[in-house]
Amino acid sequence: MFLIGIIQKINKDWKTFNNMIKEERIAEFIGIMLGDGHIGIYDTKQNKKIYQLKVSLDSRNVDYTNYVRGLMKEIFELEPKVFYKKKENAVDIKIYKKEKVFYAIDKLGLKLSPKMNTAEIPDKYSKGKIALYVLRGLFDTDGSITVFNNNGKLYPRIEIRISPSPMQNQFIDILKEHKINHKIQRLDGGKIKIRINGVKELSNWLEKVGSSNEQYLQKAEKFLKRKVYK
């Protein structure tokens, strides 16, 4: 009986661990969709509907394209279709299944596009540690690591633009909750730019939020002078 109890506890702990990992992956995907994602339901001339979930990326970033493709396959249990736009250096990763699109809307809490004025982090993923994975997905798709010159010395800067939407305040609240120092620049059209400056804050970001985008990790390593892991 004692051995059976141990086995049951191990199985329960393993299931809890797997569920936690899955939730983290879903949260990251939500961030990706809030960054470079699109959900649409369209009428055709034949009185039919097309259901589409899409992520658009830079096709030159092969590693990250493959990563997002694998993430979508894992979450939706379906091999997404990939379309390359050679003239635009772009790639669209798409899912057309009706039930998968409604899973993203009804279960994950994502909204139909366009995202302007409506983009919102689902409440379940807007607080606590899980929210950091949303930030990771958004950063990897809609953010950047740039360099600024401060009196002749070069420093890294994380920048993320957010269009007018409830997500602006949610994003800022997550940064405050996890003590990630930042500055807010107001842009035209109600947009904002989040700026996170310096080596110390870059290290803080990578420790708390991280990145699944190998190009960003390589840029960060040049400043931190150490290997950065996903």
Helical segments of 93-166, H only? 98-102, 130-142
> Helices H, strands E: what count in the chain?
7, 8
pLDDT of residue 50: 92
Q: For the chain, list the domains and their CATH numbers.
A: 2-224 (3.10.28.10)
Mean pLDDT of 215-224: 89
**DSSP assignment string, 65-114:** HHHHHHHHHHHHTS--EEEEEGGGTEEEEEE--HHHHHIIIIIS---PSP
Q: CA-to-CA distance for 52 and 31, rounded, in angstroms?
A: 18
Question: Which among 224, 50, 10, 153 is positioned nearest to 216, based on CA atoms?
Answer: 224
Give residue 2's identity as a one-letter amino acid code. F
CA nearest to 38, candidates 28, 51, 49, 26: 51
pLDDT of residue 158: 96
- What is the pLDDT, as a whole number, of residue 228? 58
Q: Which two tokens stand for residue 109?
A: 């809490």
Reported confidence tier of residue 45, pLDDT bands at 50, 70, 90 = confident
Contacts (Cβ under 8 Å, ≥6 apart) of 146: 156, 157, 159
Q: Per residue in 76-95, pLDDT tens? A: 999 999 999 988 899 999 99
For residue 35, pLDDT over 60 is answered with yes
Residue 114 reports pLDDT greater than 60: yes
pLDDT in tens, 116-129: 899 999 999 999 99
Segment 204-211 shows an average pLDDT of 95
What is the overall mean pLDDT for the chain? 89
Q: What is the pLDDT of residue 227?
A: 54
Query: According to the model, what pLDDT value does residue 86 have?
Result: 81
Report pLDDT for 147.
87
For position 16, what pLDDT does the model report? 52
> Position 224: which residue type?
L
Give the mean pLDDT of 47-73: 95
Structure confidence at residue 224 (pLDDT): 84
Find the range with the poorest average confidence among 82-86, 146-150, 168-172, 175-179: 146-150
